[in-house]
């Protein structure tokens, strides 16, 4: 098993990438702390892991709140004895997020609070726990839009994910000698509830799909497998990297018909 005797904390694990990663990490031997604001979704993830014979604990956490982030890390150490993998996955994409002119300040602030501040707070409280466990892996979820402009205006989301990339690189450099690695995942457009709520018409979905060389949305399970690589010792010489899993969208200038 690739994560045997490891403890993983995954935010936003009540659905999507977080749930698929929690299930996969548990299959690979990790004890998993499932953190989410959605209690029903988080408990369902835990139940699925436990039914498969794995170990998991749900902690309700709003990653934009310092007290919640402190508590989810404490729960990992108190319940499972340490922390080896911190997967800052929680994020939001609000339908009201548009261009710089039309996006309301409240939408900007809420997006930044979850998508960027949430990663900062996860690291603020998670890094000391990783130190106590002798090191480990931090995985932060950015997005392909951190590398290129989005075809559909979403200024706050795009800016927040660009911030995640910069934050990840600095953490990687600062903590490399402490055996703490930090890498960023940049998923392409996925068939998740989060994105499908935004791309809620056939026209919107087509506008995104036309830019993807593979011609389809990705699946959360495909991102989970990339996260497993970053969580495991197989990526032991990787830190500060941007891992792009996007169906080729960032490589394309013109997509073939």
Strand order of the β-sheet with 180-187 is 55-60, 31-36, 7-11, 85-88, 136-141, 180-187, 242-245
Cα dist from 48 to 20, 59, 107, 216, whole Å = 10, 15, 34, 28
Query: In sequence order, what are the residues at sequence separation of 6 or more whose Cβ sits closer than 8 angstroms to the Cβ of residue 220?
Result: 16, 17, 19, 20, 190, 191, 192
* Average pLDDT for 180-203: 83
157 is catalytic: yes
In a domain, 136, yes or no: yes
pLDDT of amino acid 196: 67
**Total domains, the chain:** 1
Cα dist from 122 to 25, 93, 192, 239, whole Å = 19, 19, 23, 17
Residue among 23, 13, 28 at smallest CA distance from 50? 23
Query: 218 by DSSP, 3-state: which?
Result: strand
Query: In sequence order, what are the residues at sequence separation of 6 or more whose Cβ sits closer than 8 angstroms to the Cβ of residue 209?
Result: 189, 215, 216, 217
Radius of gyration, CA atoms only, the chain:
17
* Average pLDDT for 90-113: 96
In a domain, 211, yes or no: yes
In a domain, 256, yes or no: no
In a domain, 257, yes or no: no
In a domain, 2, yes or no: no
Query: Residues 214-231: pLDDT tens digits?
Result: 988 899 999 999 999 999
pLDDT of amino acid 201: 77
Query: Residues 126-180: pLDDT tens digits?
Result: 999 999 999 999 999 999 999 998 777 999 999 999 999 999 999 999 999 999 9
Q: 53 is in which domain, residue-wise?
A: 7-251
In a domain, 245, yes or no: yes
CATH code, domain carrying 242: 3.40.50.720
- Angle subtended at Cα 220 by Cα 215 and Cα 226, rounded to the nearest 5 degrees: 95
Q: Which tokens belong to 14? A: 């009540």
The answer to whether 32 touches 54, Cβ cutoff 8 Å, is yes
Catalytically annotated residue among 125, 157, 237, 253: 157
Query: Residues 195-206: pLDDT tens digits?
Result: 767 677 777 776
The whole-angstrom separation of Cα 33 and Cα 35 is 6
Lowest mean pLDDT among 25-34, 101-110, 111-120, 182-191: 182-191
The answer to whether 122 touches 175, Cβ cutoff 8 Å, is no
Query: Residues 24-68: pLDDT tens digits?
Result: 999 999 999 999 999 999 999 999 999 999 999 999 999 999 999
pLDDT of amino acid 209: 78
In a domain, 151, yes or no: yes
In a domain, 183, yes or no: yes
Query: 113 by DSSP, 3-state: which?
Result: helix
Query: Residues 225-248: pLDDT tens digits?
Result: 999 999 999 999 999 999 999 999
- Angle subtended at Cα 221 by Cα 59 and Cα 31, rounded to the nearest 5 degrees: 35
Q: Which residue, chain included where needed, has tokens 């935010």?
A: 11
């Amino acid at each position: 098993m690739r994560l045997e005797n490891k403890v993983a904390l995954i935010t936003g694990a009540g659905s999507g990438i977080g749930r698929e990663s929690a299930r996969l990490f548990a299959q690979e031997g990790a004890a998993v702390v499932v953190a989410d604001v959605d209690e029903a979704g988080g408990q369902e993830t835990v139940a699925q892991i436990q039914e498969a014979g794995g170990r998991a604990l749900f902690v309700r956490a709003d990653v934009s709140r310092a007290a919640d982030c402190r508590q989810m890390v404490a729960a990992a150490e108190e319940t499972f004895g340490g922390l080896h993998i911190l997967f800052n996955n929680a994020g939001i994409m609000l339908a009201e997020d548009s261009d710089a002119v039309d996006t309301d300040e409240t939408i900007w602030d809420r997006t930044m609070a979850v998508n960027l501040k949430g990663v900062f707070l996860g690291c603020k409280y998670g890094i000391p726990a990783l130190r106590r466990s002798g090191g480990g892996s931090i995985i932060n979820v950015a997005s392909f839009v951190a590398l290129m402009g989005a075809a559909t205006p979403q200024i706050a989301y795009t800016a927040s994910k660009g911030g995640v990339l910069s934050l990840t690189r600095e953490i990687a450099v600062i903590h490399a000698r402490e055996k703490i690695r930090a890498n960023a995942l940049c998923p392409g457009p996925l068939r998740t509830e989060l994105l499908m709520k935004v791309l809620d018409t056939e026209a919107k979905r087509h506008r995104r799909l036309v830019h993807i060389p593979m011609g389809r949305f990705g699946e959360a399970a495909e991102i989970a497998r990339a996260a497993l690589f970053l969580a495991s010792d197989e990526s032991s010489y990787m830190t500060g990297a941007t891992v792009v899993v996007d169906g080729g969208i960032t490589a394309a200038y013109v997509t073939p018909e």
